[in-house]
Structure 1
Amino acid sequence: MTDLLQLLVAGISVGAIYALIAMGFTVIFSVSEVINLTQGEFAALAGLIAITATTAGLPLPLALLVSVLTVVTVALLVRLVLAPVKRMTTLLSIMLTLGLSTALKAAMLLLWGPEGRGLDPFPGNDFVVWGVSVRAQYLWIIGVTAVVSVAVAAFYERTLTGKALRACAEQPTAARLVGISVSGAGLLSFGIAGLLGGIAGVLASPVYFSAWDSGLALGLKGFVAATLGGLTSIRGAVAGGVVLGVLESLVAGYVDSGFRDAVAFVVLIVVLVARPGGILRQHSVARV
């Protein structure tokens, strides 16, 4: 029983990271139907920038702020690069963002080299409860993810700007007719995605390390988690991330750690075959 609880704690913590990245995919796709393959790179870049900033002597809170704001700026630049494309299809967005993802990886490799590194752990003491070792960083990851998830969901459901973004996603033509800027909504969605990716990167770095290529795995697993939620639901993205993290942890603990990364591929195949719209996605009305 203790082993199961230990695996669940670890799985929920890594699943929370996947959930943040999955929300980044969701907020962009739900507005513009763009699948942003640079989302994982946002997380990797945030971790590396935060490590550099703390090494240079900045206090941890200030280093985290600089890191996240820098990633938000990069996310906005990615959107501006994509903006001139007039007929953006999902396939074209995959091809274009894949190229941008490769460019970001190359830049990180040149700036930081091939070695992975970790940010200093956030303040707090590890402890043991019921025989289960709980790291303070796990609590930071789970707690911050919970707060951010609630904040993003409230933003979309309770604020006028959030409702405008949802209008652009559900009825883009009608949104234009009432004066909502669809292009502005797309830019804002990339900014939010950059914020989510940056938070994921700095939270994960003390435990899972940051490297020039670490965004590949994070992006893939975040995409799988978002797919579980149908790529349009914030709550679905969070649930998908936690489910995927727990499945990975259980497989690594009870089967073989070598199969850990294969779980995401298996889940993706099952979802695409059994329910392409996402396991947690509700039936939706076609756009007009």
Structure 2
Amino acid sequence: MPEEPAENISGGIDGGGADAAFTPDDAETRAAAVVETLGEMYWQKAYGGQDAFTCLVRTILSQNTSDKASQPAHDSLMNRYGGGDLATTLADAEQSELAETIQSAGLYNQKSEMIVGAAEEIVDEFGGADEFDEFVREEDPQTVRTRLLEIHGVGPKTADCVLLFSGGRGGVFPVDTHVHRIARRMGLAPADADHEEVREHLERDVPAEKCGFGHTAMIQFGREYCTARKPACLDGPEACPLYDLCDRVGVDELDETVVDPSDAA
């Protein structure tokens, strides 16, 4: 498993957004209480402001890999193709050259095809990156999400990341592997819920203005405490700051065994 960086890159210093103080609230649901606790641990800022097409490219690069692998690919892409309208430049890019540029991200042939195809669609429909950015920021969020999902290679998590990190939309809780695992392990969503069902439960139960932060914080929590194979609770209740809020579905503390929540249901 590749080593992860200390912070979630998409929500870090280059992820757009603005400084904002964390405001504690009374939690009305257990999911909200989880996010309140994570706020005391990880709060960084409010999200939004990242260029929409750049965010889309960055999130495609991150699919099925770690930030440690996708960040160099993103940097290489920007070094070679940045400086103008990125959508227009990539729409005209030679796919094999782009694939070579982003090879550190893995699946580079598929990802380069997705990126060039997305760029062509955006240039054809919107005219370029600036117009696409305006669409993402100003159009109805569900309309934006639906349109994004029509782009080859864009799934729900990618679409939601664009809505969050570019559009700064409240009530958007992207679900990646960490969030999917933790929400089901904690009992915040059914043990057999798919990614979309987990998203629906979290967006229902977490205040809209804290969904975006909840996404990045839960990723960080998954890396530091609630890992797939050895969650901190195996070292005792005091080892996990969310122990009292967690059902530990699939975790046997006596036998020190861990299975996917769906296998324990």
Q: Same fold (TM over 0.5)?
A: no
The TM-score with structure 2 as length reference comes to 0.29
The TM-score with structure 1 as length reference comes to 0.27
**Using CA pairs below 8 Å that are at least 6 residues apart, which structure has the higher relative contact order?**
1
